[in-house]
Amino acid sequence: MSNVLAIAAATRTLRNVLLARMPLLDTDLGDLEVTLQPLDVARKGITKAQLNLFLYQVIYNAGWRNMDMPGRVRPGETAQPALALNLHYLITAWGRGDSDNDAVSHRVLAAAMSTLHDRPLLDADDIRNALLGNDLADQIERVRLTPLPQSVEELSKLWTAFQTNYRVSAAYEATVLLIDSQAPSRASLPVLRRGPQDRGVTSTASTAPALSSVALPNAQAAARLGDDLVLSGSQLSTANAVARFNSLRLDAPVDVVPAAGPAAGTLQVHLADSAEDAQAPSRWAPGIYTLSLLVQSPGLPALLSNELPLALAPAITLTPRTGSPGTQHLNLTCLPRIRDGQRVFLLFGDQLVTPTSITNPADPAQPTALVFDVPGVAAGTYTVRLRVDGADSIPVDFSGPLPAFDSLQQVVVS
């Protein structure tokens, strides 16, 4: 691993190697200068033979990115991966003076490319001597230099970006630099016991329960407090089982103990209303739920079934139920109580109306009180529904031989 000096150390090491090796390959380059300047200022103030080494791009290394460092973390531990980088360099050659009739720039470029061809790996001692305090030489991977093929068009775009004239150049890639992350790592303590009393892995022959459907009374689109739900599926049993209702509006799931269903292999779940459970108005919330079956046998891991969607409809009372044409001022109560942040609308006939006020009494057993003002109502009979988070109240009376709209949930305007 290496520290944040890694990029600078790699660049200076490369410069030092070129400056030391190139004159040995071509003795006429004894006055060679190796610079690290951007392309537009590289030649300013220099008239002798020159090689410019320009770092023009830094990219992530795909092979090492998000990989744990060997020897740093063990299985079960987590640590931030190292920052793995590839460096792209452009080497550019100049001859002596303004003209290059003797092709000195060609000799400079050839000597540079020959040096990098013979020494494709940066030496550890060269890296340590290049920059005080760097530890690039100690990383697990050595830094390798390889030619980076570039078309004339790609090189032209690079030179054009610096608004300077093109010079003969070659591109190289240095890979890989692994810069150590400073984020803290987590190391778990050794495992002392595997399960209670060190009994190890528990295996059971039976599988988890699976739910296939939920049947609601009268084929309703949503359940209401006081309803009995019938669960169908496989591996269903009342032994050590609870029906679990989850909602984003609840702080904790609601668990209900099921009873045997009307048919073999089914379960029946009763949703207690406020007459049976004084806490029901505040325990539940109208809206959308997921329903699953949880089986917790003593001494065994919990088994959880798949989840099925379920809508819990609000139950409402409405006053007044008569009025004159014009704006209708309506008062409603809602059970279960409406939670903060729930989306509430009144469906008055075919109108969608937002509430004027929503109030939850201090007594958690009392319903939510809502006020609506419905403008421009003509004479007629209007069925009223309350929609909370997409779950509508049920304005239907199922007590007769045929379903009919409930007169207690209608407003007659005359």
Query: What mean pLDDT is predicted for residues 208-232?
Result: 94
Query: What mean pLDDT is predicted for residues 144-161?
Result: 90
Query: What mean pLDDT is predicted for residues 172-188?
Result: 83
Q: Is the pLDDT of residue 68 over 80?
A: no
Whether omega for the bond prior to residue 320 falls within 30 degrees of 0, making it cis, is yes
Reported as a single tens digit per residue, the pLDDT across 340-378 is: 999 999 999 888 999 999 999 999 999 999 999 999 999
What integer pLDDT is reported at residue 203 of this predicted model? 67
The number of beta carbons lying within 10 Å of the beta carbon of residue 143 is 26
Reported as a single tens digit per residue, the pLDDT across 259-303 is: 999 999 899 999 999 999 999 999 999 999 999 999 988 877 888
Q: Is the pLDDT of residue 74 over 90?
A: no
The number of beta carbons lying within 10 Å of the beta carbon of residue 165 is 9
**Cβ atoms of 289 and 247 closer than 8 Å:** yes
Q: Is the pLDDT of residue 200 over 80?
A: no
pLDDT-derived band at 1 (thresholds 50, 70, 90) equals low
What integer pLDDT is reported at residue 45 of this predicted model? 85
Reported as a single tens digit per residue, the pLDDT across 325-344 is: 999 999 999 999 999 999 99
What integer pLDDT is reported at residue 47 of this predicted model? 87
What integer pLDDT is reported at residue 185 of this predicted model? 66
Q: In the CATH scheme, what is the code of domain 210-312? A: 2.60.40.10
CA distances from 7 to 59, 179, 210, 373, 403 (A): 12, 9, 57, 69, 78
**Are domains 210-312 and 315-413 of this chain identical in fold?**
yes
Query: What mean pLDDT is predicted for residues 384-400?
Result: 93
- Poorest-confidence range of 13-22, 44-53, 95-104, 189-198? 189-198
pLDDT-derived band at 72 (thresholds 50, 70, 90) equals low
pTM of the model: 0.58
Radius of gyration of the chain (CA): 39
Q: In the CATH scheme, what is the code of domain 315-413? A: 2.60.40.650
Q: Across-strand partners of 175?
A: 86, 144
* The CA-based dihedral angle spanning residues 242, 243, 247, 252, taken in that order and rounded to the nearest 10 degrees: -10
Query: What mean pLDDT is predicted for residues 31-45?
Result: 91
* Burial group, residue 392, by CB count within 10 angstroms (0-12, 13-18, 19+): middle
Tell me how far apart the alpha carbons of residues 332 and 347 are, in angstroms, rounded to a whole number: 12
The number of beta carbons lying within 10 Å of the beta carbon of residue 248 is 13
Q: Is the pLDDT of residue 191 over 90?
A: no
**Cβ atoms of 50 and 94 closer than 8 Å:** yes
What rounded mean pLDDT belongs to the chain?
A: 90
**Cβ atoms of 162 and 155 closer than 8 Å:** no
Tell me how far apart the alpha carbons of residues 237 and 266 are, in angstroms, rounded to a whole number: 8
**Cβ atoms of 396 and 303 closer than 8 Å:** no
The number of beta carbons lying within 10 Å of the beta carbon of residue 57 is 14
Tell me how far apart the alpha carbons of residues 115 and 150 are, in angstroms, rounded to a whole number: 20
What integer pLDDT is reported at residue 78 of this predicted model? 64
198 phi and psi angles, rounded to 5 deg: 55, 45
**Cβ atoms of 372 and 358 closer than 8 Å:** no
What integer pLDDT is reported at residue 165 of this predicted model? 86
Handedness of CA 235, 237, 240, 245 (dihedral sign): positive
Tell me how far apart the alpha carbons of residues 58 and 210 are, in angstroms, rounded to a whole number: 53
Q: Is the pLDDT of residue 204 over 70?
A: no
What integer pLDDT is reported at residue 302 of this predicted model? 86
Tell me how far apart the alpha carbons of residues 320 and 412 are, in angstroms, rounded to a whole number: 9
Q: Is the pLDDT of residue 407 over 70?
A: yes
What integer pLDDT is reported at residue 69 of this predicted model? 65
Q: Is the pLDDT of residue 71 over 60?
A: no
Q: Is the pLDDT of residue 53 over 60?
A: yes
Reported as a single tens digit per residue, the pLDDT across 242-270 is: 999 999 999 999 999 999 999 998 999 99
What integer pLDDT is reported at residue 153 of this predicted model? 86
Domain positions in the chain are 6-179, 210-312, 315-413
